[in-house]
Amino acid sequence: MNIPHKSVPIADLHREPLRQLLTALADDHLILGHRHSEWTGLGPILEEDIAFSSIAQDQMGHALGFYTLLHEHLGAPDPDIHAFTRQEAEFSCCQLVEWPIGDYDFSLTRHLFFDLAAGLRMETLSLSSFTPLAQLATKIRGEVKYHIFHAKTMVGQLGNSSDETAKARMQTAINRQFGLALGMFEPRLGEQILDDAHIAPIESKWRERWLEALNAVLDGTGLQIPDPDRIEPVFGGRNGYHTEYLQPLLHEMTEVFRLDPQAEW
């Protein structure tokens, strides 16, 4: 019962920029999904254990959706092969998603940063002129709403906490990874071409909306973001330059796959 490939025509001019966009989205969701799954069994309370595990599972589904688009429309290999057999330098995830889970405050802050951006991305992409992407983004958007709801609730609780240590830890987590978070919006090669074709906006447009959304979330809390103009964004991930943390993650993630790539599950 094979699912037939339902290719839609893509102009030659758009192919490479679209491949870059979809690979970045797929890799971000795959790698952060893997990181979130490391909270399974370790969450500070049962509800948070379940939340991070569920978000991880959602993100695996999202990654699969993007890899499937690459496979069906842009000639990329089968999603499993694509996800599990590339070398580190062939990954185009941003560096934010690679970092180890750290303490709960670090992971929670990263979850807020990432899902706020993912929500905006999916909202825009649900109107993409590339229909298969618009359909997938529409699907993902409804799921990310729950991620944002969760992140806002927890960040709000800790950010309004009467426990000054909790608040200080959250603020430190925000400051510490703000440059990494800005790295989510590293310009993609050919992004203007996709913008002109109403396939996807350039990253700086998303960055601007993300900063507004983030300020709105933190507004009612005792937390704030650093001045974005004074923080150096951590770029490189989109072009295959990664932290020392990605290779060990890939090694662990692909360990079972490498035992028998042809295995039927």
Partner 1 sequence: MVSPAHEPTGVPLNAHNDQVDAIWEALRSVMDPEIPVLSVVDLGIITGVALSPEQSVTVRMTPTFAGCPGIRLMEKQVGEAVEQLGYEHVQVETDFSVAWNSNRISDRGREIIRNFGLAPPPKHNGEPDLDRLQHTECPYCASANTTLKTPFGPTLCRSMHYCFDCLQAFEQFKPV
- Write out the residues near partner 1 by the rule CB under 8 A: 1, 3-4, 6, 8, 47-48, 50-51, 53-55, 57-62, 64-65, 131-132, 135-136, 138-140, 142-143, 145-146, 149-150
Closest CB 200 distance from partner 1, rounded Å: 17
Nearer to partner 1, 88 or 123 (CB): 123
Closest CB 14 distance from partner 1, rounded Å: 15
Closest CB 169 distance from partner 1, rounded Å: 21
* Residue 237 near residue 186 (C-beta atoms within 8 A): yes
Closest CB 63 distance from partner 1, rounded Å: 9
**80-114 as b/e, with b when 16 or more CB fall inside 10 Å?**
eebbbebeeeebbbbbbbbbeeeebbbbbbbbbbb
Nearer to partner 1, 59 or 171 (CB): 59
* Residue 35 near residue 97 (C-beta atoms within 8 A): yes
Nearer to partner 1, 149 or 252 (CB): 149
Nearer to partner 1, 76 or 180 (CB): 76
**Which phi and psi (to 5°) does residue 140 adopt?**
-65, -35
Nearer to partner 1, 93 or 144 (CB): 144
Closest CB 168 distance from partner 1, rounded Å: 25
Show Cβ contacts of residue 165 under 8 Å, excluding neighbours closer than 6 positions. none
CA distance 43 to 111: 14
Closest CB 134 distance from partner 1, rounded Å: 9
Nearer to partner 1, 199 or 234 (CB): 199
**217-256 as b/e, with b when 16 or more CB fall inside 10 Å?**
bbeebebebeebeeeebbbebbeeebbeebeebbeebeee
CA distance 190 to 192: 5
